[in-house]
Structure 1
């Protein structure tokens, strides 16, 4: 029974994070439908629904930003009590001059490892990738608006790290004394949190790396920093370095292997950095 409760605790941050996203959308949809009904008294049900969908799509980036803000407040308060009501320490303490090069190496390696995975999926299962791209387009995450940039670069790394590398990893380590098991559990939850197969695959890989970074530096600041850098690379830098690139399957594997080597080098350098600290 005790073991079951520990597993259930591991799932709570995932459930809470999904619930925030879902409830934000539902509450806004209800308010929007009420508003449209008042503005269009003679309209039929399908007309009201079509108008509601059109307006909802316009404000999707704003809703994503709002859900991230709610998640941060919820997760920060939760983490504060779980960690024994300790205030967060100095974000600079525990880092060295080597930390930034380490993070940049890991950022490049991790981002292009994920890009390589996406390229391989595009060859092996093009329909799966097409569905993923349509989902991104529908959510407004493909267009670089101030709302999507703020949500992606600042709020998402903080809220998601608090939920998964803060809370989930904390409880997962109580289930198993082996870190790799606990790290795998929280990474799986992080992958499920993204609610689609393609994003879930590379989000799980990211979760494994973020969890490793959090453990090595013994600081959520480290995983938040790397998370923000990876999101920056994926949102802005990646498109500049690989503009409209459509390589064959062999080249996709080459990109995956090369970026994996860069990521491994970054993690190896990280080990030296944390040993010095």
Structure 2
């Protein structure tokens, strides 16, 4: 029989997040070290080819170009380093996610009716229109010119080999982030609070891991939809699929030049935004019909869930 969850302290929510960040940071340091070793001589050559200096001033003059060269090399392999760091976080988040599925603890997420598999097609379609529509809104508002760091981040991500982008940014990173921010953080918040509060808190922390203001706002909105998908479909597979779809569409559309083509004409831009808004609204209505789950409403007489055997 399910029992009401006991009140949890700050570390119950923040502890996994801190561990996630520590592992991610440590893995990035290791990744950068492995990148730097094969290029050590190249970095030293940028500073004059010697590590012996006659004065403090000479050392300072040599260190700056060496540092700049190291940063340049790190940027070339940034996606690979991020992918490695994301992979290193998955064992922790998967363990915590599975541990959170306890039959004796009442969590509305685990009481939800699971949506039928064919209805996941609505998730894919919503991911397509969300990605294209959001990118066109960013282009229309010219926010990229307000925050140069957004364009710099885009240049770094899209400069990696396309296969690396697909594996790293399209699959591994979304999976790692969903396990942490929806599977663990949103799931733990949902034990203690209603849907909207839990979604807002987890989405705020999700937005904080993105490095510039545009991506933070984008991630905040995306995080809310990802929480909605998880709750509505009763499965983390829904939010993982949505996140992967959005990232994949962004990568493929950028590679194919579709987003550039849409943004080159004000008419195409306006028509595209309106079209995405219309299709997105239709898809969203159909997602609401995918199951009997009601956002923010607790079930009065929940049935004890079966012992989980896989992703829930």
TM-score normalised per structure 2: 0.71
Q: How far is the alpha carbon of 1:72 from its aligned partner? A: 1.5
Q: How far is the alpha carbon of 1:56 from its aligned partner? A: 1.8
5+ long unaligned stretches in structure 2: 1-5, 52-61, 104-113, 294-312
Worse-matched range after superposition: 22-31 or 69-78 = 22-31
**In the alignment, does 2:120 pair up with 1:99?**
yes
Q: How far is the alpha carbon of 1:70 from its aligned partner? A: 0.8
Cα 1:254–1:9, aligned 2, differ >3 Å: closer, same or farther? farther
Q: Which residue of structure 2 aligns with residue 163 of structure 1? A: 180
Q: Which residue of structure 1 aligns with residue 151 of structure 2? A: 133
Q: How far is the alpha carbon of 1:106 from its aligned partner? A: 0.7
CA RMSD of aligned residues (A): 3.4
Q: Which residue of structure 2 aligns with residue 228 of structure 1? A: 244
Q: Which residue of structure 1 aligns with residue 212 of structure 2? A: 196
Task: Name the structure with the higher helix share.
Answer: 1
Alignment equivalent of 2:22, drawn from 10, 19, 23: 19
Cα 1:135–1:77, aligned 2, differ >3 Å: closer, same or farther? same
Query: Who wins on radius of gyration, i.e. which is larger?
Result: 2
CA distance in 2 between counterparts of 1:39 and 1:243 reads: 36
Worse-matched range after superposition: 9-18 or 183-192 = 9-18
Q: Which residue of structure 2 aligns with residue 88 of structure 1? A: none
Question: Is contact 2:115-2:290 (8 Å) kept?
Answer: no
Question: Is contact 1:116-1:256 (8 Å) kept?
Answer: yes
* Alignment deviations for residues 11-39 of structure 1 (CA, whole Å, 9 cap, x no partner): 44444444334333334445666773799
CA distance in 1 between counterparts of 2:154 and 2:258 reads: 21
CA distance in 2 between counterparts of 1:9 and 1:249 reads: 49
Cα 1:241–1:30, aligned 2, differ >3 Å: closer, same or farther? closer
Question: Is contact 2:79-2:164 (8 Å) kept?
Answer: yes
Q: Which residue of structure 1 aligns with residue 164 of structure 2? A: 147
TM-score normalised per structure 1: 0.79
5+ long unaligned stretches in structure 1: 86-92
Say how many residue pairs are matched.
Answer: 264
* Alignment deviations for residues 117-147 of structure 1 (CA, whole Å, 9 cap, x no partner): 312441x67221x320112223x34444322
**In the alignment, does 2:233 pair up with 1:217?**
yes
Worse-matched range after superposition: 258-267 or 66-75 = 258-267
Alignment equivalent of 2:50, drawn from 35, 42, 46: 42
Worse-matched range after superposition: 16-25 or 70-79 = 16-25
Question: Is contact 2:169-2:247 (8 Å) kept?
Answer: yes
